[in-house]
């Protein structure tokens, strides 16, 4: 419920996750699932009305599915069978007739009756031995949610169909929702929940849409059609700005644009320290379309291709051919530089919406990434085949996510070798010497790094997850976002341990979490001995500038001090001072681009734990 119309110039403070300033009209969307199902008894006189209400919701549901089917793009039309199946579910007796019968016989409301029908269907499905069929209960669930939303009179708003320039305001957006935003129309988005390194945030950066998350009260403070200013640099939102405020932000916008182009000019210089040490600076991408921008920003290759989004986007599992075409193009465009392709990291905060194979209480600790792939070789193997086939067209490195120990790595390698043997037998061309690496993002992999290093050719440290798992902070939860702490001495020790293990084994070590693009972390990571930093393309120019302003010798010396500190605060104080002496413009706090961790914002976020996030300039 909206409490009130926000006053002019009301300010909300959240977490800036994708840079840029936008001024535009709010468009509210409700992506929340129907969690609460109201249950009530009806009297005899209401039965006909209730049945009619249910039938109307069914009709509407069918119409929506048919419309969706007609609107499917050419690329994903082959998956239209999913929607045909959904239409059949709406018409199925166990859903429609059984619910009507329950409304009449038990005199209960339609939502409750529908829930009872679905419970019966679920019980039947659970007894089925064949996993594929058993998993179709998720389709039933999907259709049920749509019917429930229609019963509640909620819009089934499709984000991809927004056709005016707006700023999306939502309680939450999933990475799948975000990857489908119509970027020509959606200027940016703000959400109540979310964390700095959530995949929704990462996608926003990839699409270059300014975004602020974790605002807590955005959906209650903002009303549809309100004019908003979204500052994706410092996480500030202004609701109903006056002329003066708009002018101030327009000036800030111009400042940023100028700064961006001035720094972009430096991006093609080598990433070399003052004393001649080279660190590879590469880009993280989520979509094929980003490769050109990565090159334009001076990336020396793609250090991480997160391959999940093709699976999320096409609303169905893409086949080997589609994957092969995509990977081949990435390899060709970035060639002769390499691309590190990560195998599917589905689960956690990324779900295959229509093929949701798992419903878990703790998805981050569940059947995610390599665990999911090892369980689903029918999904894993085609991807491996596609990656290997593409390796004949450029320089591809392969990386497994979420490896937690040697046995798991060996299982994954076994499948990889089976796929290689199959391709050989089929006389299909691929790079037999494709380099294999693992993400180090689970604390157990840090502890076992010396052993794991013997079996792979490189490591890439995924600090987004490593911080999540080591410090026990859900990366998508805004309530603990203030604890996301790359300067925690435990994290610094872990990174150091991994780098030592890699050096001892003579293998390369990259770092590809958001920390890689943080200008304040660069010198420390250089001192630790990271060989490669991979980040969102927008962060590259500033990172190169920093690398070119520091000496490796000095960074190693500083590391000795850093390793002695017992708290993150001490580390931060030391590093901020050092870095801002070298790059004074960083002092202007939010006057730089591509910064994923705003060290200044951290203070206010911490403050917000005990204080209302809402303030007003015009009390």
Residues 325-354 that bind ligand PEP (CB under 6 A): 345
Taking the complex as a whole, the smallest distance from the CB of residue 255 to ligand PEP amounts, in Å, to: 30
Burial 383-405 (b: 16+ CB within 10 A, else e): bbbbbbbbbebbbbbbbbbbbbe
Give the x/- contact pattern for Mg ion in 6-45, rule: CB under 5 A.
----------------------------------------
Give just the sign of the alpha carbon dihedral 476, 480, 482, 488: negative
3 state SS for 536-595: EHHHHHHHHHHHHHCCHHHHHHHHHHHCCCCCHHHHHHHHHHHHHHHCHHHHHCCCCCCC
DSSP 8-state assignment for residue 347: B
Taking the complex as a whole, the smallest distance from the CB of residue 465 to Mg ion amounts, in Å, to: 4
Q: Does 464 bind ligand PEP (CB under 6 A)?
A: yes
Which does residue 149 touch among ligand PEP, Mg ion, none (CB within 5 to 8 A, set by kind)? none
Distance, CA of 619 to CA of 505 (rounded, Å): 62
Of 86 and 306, CB closest to ligand PEP: 306
Q: CA 316 → CA 81, 279, 327, distances in Å?
A: 10, 39, 18
Taking the complex as a whole, the smallest distance from the CB of residue 363 to ligand PEP amounts, in Å, to: 12
Burial 219-232 (b: 16+ CB within 10 A, else e): bbbbbeebbbbbbb
Vertex 245 angle, CA 242 and 251, to 5° = 140
Taking the complex as a whole, the smallest distance from the CB of residue 525 to ligand PEP amounts, in Å, to: 13
Bridge partners of 306, per DSSP, are: 342
Of 461 and 583, CB closest to Mg ion: 461
**Contact present, 398 and 344 (Cβ < 8 Å):** no
3 state SS for 492-544: HHHHHHHHHHHHHHCCEEEECCHHHHCCCCHHHHHHHCCCEEEEEHHHHHHHH
Taking the complex as a whole, the smallest distance from the CB of residue 468 to Mg ion amounts, in Å, to: 8
Q: CA 462 → CA 136, 281, 403, 406, 438, distances in Å?
A: 33, 15, 11, 18, 10
Other beta carbons less than 10 A from residue 619's beta carbon? 7
Which does residue 286 touch among Mg ion, ligand PEP, none (CB within 5 to 8 A, set by kind)? none
Q: Which of 189, 190, 195 has its CA nearest to residue 165? A: 189
Residues 6+ apart with CB under 8 A from 213: 14, 15, 17, 190, 191, 193, 194, 195, 196, 198, 200, 201, 478
Residue 41 is encoded by which pair of tokens? 């008894």
Taking the complex as a whole, the smallest distance from the CB of residue 368 to Mg ion amounts, in Å, to: 9
Of residues 373, 512, 521, 599, which has the active-site annotation?
512
Taking the complex as a whole, the smallest distance from the CB of residue 506 to ligand PEP amounts, in Å, to: 24
Residues 428-457 that bind Mg ion (CB under 5 A): 441
Taking the complex as a whole, the smallest distance from the CB of residue 513 to Mg ion amounts, in Å, to: 7
Of 419 and 511, CB closest to ligand PEP: 511
Q: Which of 173, 178, 131, 145 has its CA nearest to residue 357? A: 131
Residues 6+ apart with CB under 8 A from 495: 461, 463, 511, 525, 528, 530
Which does residue 188 touch among ligand PEP, Mg ion, none (CB within 5 to 8 A, set by kind)? none
Q: Which of 465, 485, 518, 558 is close enough to bind ligand PEP by CB under 6 A? A: 465
Counting residues that bind ligand PEP (by CB under 6 A) gives 10
Bridge partners of 534, per DSSP, are: 282
In three-state secondary structure terms, 286 is coil
In three-state secondary structure terms, 181 is coil
**Contact present, 99 and 110 (Cβ < 8 Å):** yes
Which does residue 19 touch among ligand PEP, Mg ion, none (CB within 5 to 8 A, set by kind)? none
Of 350 and 578, CB closest to ligand PEP: 350
Residue 488 is encoded by which pair of tokens? 């925690």
Taking the complex as a whole, the smallest distance from the CB of residue 135 to Mg ion amounts, in Å, to: 25
Taking the complex as a whole, the smallest distance from the CB of residue 284 to ligand PEP amounts, in Å, to: 7
Q: Which of 177, 308, 465, 558 is close enough to bind Mg ion by CB under 5 A? A: 465
**Contact present, 292 and 332 (Cβ < 8 Å):** no
Of 404 and 464, CB closest to ligand PEP: 464
Q: Does 347 bind Mg ion (CB under 5 A)?
A: no
In 155-254, beta strands by DSSP E: 166-170, 186-191, 211-213, 227-231, 236-239
Active site residue 199: yes
Which does residue 512 touch among Mg ion, ligand PEP, none (CB within 5 to 8 A, set by kind)? ligand PEP
Q: Which of 57, 32, 33, 31 has its CA nearest to residue 145? A: 33
The helix (H) or strand (E) run that includes residue 325 is helix 320-334
Of 26 and 439, CB closest to ligand PEP: 439
Vertex 435 angle, CA 446 and 475, to 5° = 40
Query: Of the ranges 335-343, 413-421, 461-469, 520-528, which one interacts with Mg ion (CB under 5 A)?
Result: 461-469
Active site residue 373: no
Which does residue 306 touch among ligand PEP, Mg ion, none (CB within 5 to 8 A, set by kind)? ligand PEP
Query: Of the ranges 226-234, 353-361, 459-467, 554-562, which one interacts with Mg ion (CB under 5 A)?
Result: 459-467
Counting residues that bind Mg ion (by CB under 5 A) gives 3
Q: Which of 192, 236, 441, 558 is close enough to bind ligand PEP by CB under 6 A? A: 441
Give the x/- contact pattern for ligand PEP in 444-463, rule: CB under 6 A.
------------------xx
Of 167 and 281, CB closest to ligand PEP: 281
Give the x/- contact pattern for ligand PEP in 510-549, rule: CB under 6 A.
--xx------------------------------------
Give the x/- contact pattern for Mg ion in 300-329, rule: CB under 5 A.
------------------------------
Of 214 and 513, CB closest to ligand PEP: 513
Of residues 199, 256, 488, 599, which has the active-site annotation?
199
Distance, CA of 364 to CA of 476 (rounded, Å): 10
Which does residue 463 touch among Mg ion, ligand PEP, none (CB within 5 to 8 A, set by kind)? ligand PEP
Q: Does 462 bind Mg ion (CB under 5 A)?
A: yes
Instruction: Tell me the residue nearest to ligand PEP as measured from the CB.
Output: 462
Of 175 and 214, CB closest to ligand PEP: 175
Of 369 and 396, CB closest to ligand PEP: 369
Give the end-to-end CA distance of the chain in Å, rounded to a whole number.
22
Active site residues: 199, 512
The footprint of ligand PEP (CB under 6 A) covers 304, 306, 345, 441, 462-465, 512-513
The footprint of Mg ion (CB under 5 A) covers 441, 462, 465
């Amino acid at each position: 419920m909206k409490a009130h119309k926000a006053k002019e110039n009301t300010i909300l403070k959240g977490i800036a996750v994708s840079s840029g300033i936008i001024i535009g009209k709010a468009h509210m969307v409700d992506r929340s699932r129907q969690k609460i199902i109201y249950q009530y008894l009806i009297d005899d006189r209401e039965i006909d009305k209730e049945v009619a209400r249910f039938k109307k919701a069914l009709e509407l549901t069918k119409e929506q599915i048919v419309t969706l089917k007609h609107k499917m793009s050419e690329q994903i039309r082959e998956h239209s069978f999913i929607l045909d199946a959904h239409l059949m579910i709406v018409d199925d007796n166990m859903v429609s007739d059984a619910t009507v019968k329950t409304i009449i016989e038990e005199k209960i409301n339609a939502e409750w009756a529908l829930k009872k029908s679905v419970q019966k269907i679920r019980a039947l499905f659970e007894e089925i031995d064949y996993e594929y069929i058993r998993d179709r209960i998720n389709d039933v669930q999907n259709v049920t949610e749509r019917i429930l939303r229609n019963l509640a009179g909620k819009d089934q708003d499709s984000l991809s169909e927004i056709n005016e320039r707006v700023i999306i305001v939502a309680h939450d957006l999933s990475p799948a929702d975000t990857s489908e935003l119509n970027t020509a129309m959606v200027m940016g988005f703000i959400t109540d929940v979310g964390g700095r390194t959530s995949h929704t945030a990462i996608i926003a950066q990839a699409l270059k849409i300014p975004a602020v998350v974790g605002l807590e009260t955005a959906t209650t403070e903002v009303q549809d059609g309100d004019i908003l200013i979204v500052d994706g640099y410092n996480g500030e939102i202004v609701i109903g700005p006056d002329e003066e405020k708009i002018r101030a932000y327009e000036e800030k916008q111009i400042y940023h644009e100028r700064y961006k182009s001035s720094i972009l000019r430096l991006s093609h210089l080598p990433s070399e320290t003052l004393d001649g040490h080279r660190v590879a600076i590469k880009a993280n991408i989520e979509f094929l379309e980003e490769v050109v921008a990565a090159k334009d920003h001076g990336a020396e290759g793609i250090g991480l291709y997160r391959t999940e989004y093709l699976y999320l986007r096409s609303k169905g599992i893409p086949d080997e051919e589609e994957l092969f075409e995509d990977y081949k193009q990435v390899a060709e465009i970035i060639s002769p530089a390499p691309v590190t392709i990560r195998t599917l990291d589905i689960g956690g905060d990324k779900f295959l919406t229509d093929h949701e194979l798992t419903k878990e209480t703790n998805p981050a600790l569940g059947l995610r990434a390599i665990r999911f792939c090892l369980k689903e070789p029918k999904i894993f193997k085609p991807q491996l085949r596609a990656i290997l086939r593409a390796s004949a067209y450029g320089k591809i490195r392969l990386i497994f996510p979420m490896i937690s120990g040697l046995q798991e790595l060996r299982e994954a390698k076994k499948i990889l070798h089976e796929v290689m043997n199959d391709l050989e037998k089929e006389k299909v061309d691929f790079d037999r010497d494709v380099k294999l690496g693992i993400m180090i993002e689970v604390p157990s992999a840090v502890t076992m790094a010396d052993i794991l290093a013997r079996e792979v050719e490189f490591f890439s440290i995924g600090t987004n997850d490593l911080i999540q798992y080591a410090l026990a902070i859900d990366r998508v939860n805004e309530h603990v976002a203030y604890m996301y702490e790359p300067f925690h001495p435990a994290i610094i020790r872990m990174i150091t341990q991994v780098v030592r293990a890699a050096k001892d084994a003579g293998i390369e070590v990259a770092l590809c979490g958001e920390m890689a693009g943080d200008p304040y972390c660069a010198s420390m990571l250089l001192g630790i001995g990271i060989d490669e930093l991979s980040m969102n393309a927008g962060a590259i120019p500033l990172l190169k500038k920093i690398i070119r302003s520091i000496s490796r010798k000095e960074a190693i010396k500083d590391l000795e001090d850093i390793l002695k500190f017992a708290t993150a605060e001490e580390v931060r104080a030391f590093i901020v001072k050092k870095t801002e002496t070298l790059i004074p413009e960083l002092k202007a706090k939010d006057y730089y681009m591509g910064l994923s961790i705003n060290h200044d914002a951290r203070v206010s976020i911490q403050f917000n734990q005990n204080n209302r996030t809402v303030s007003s300039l015009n009390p």
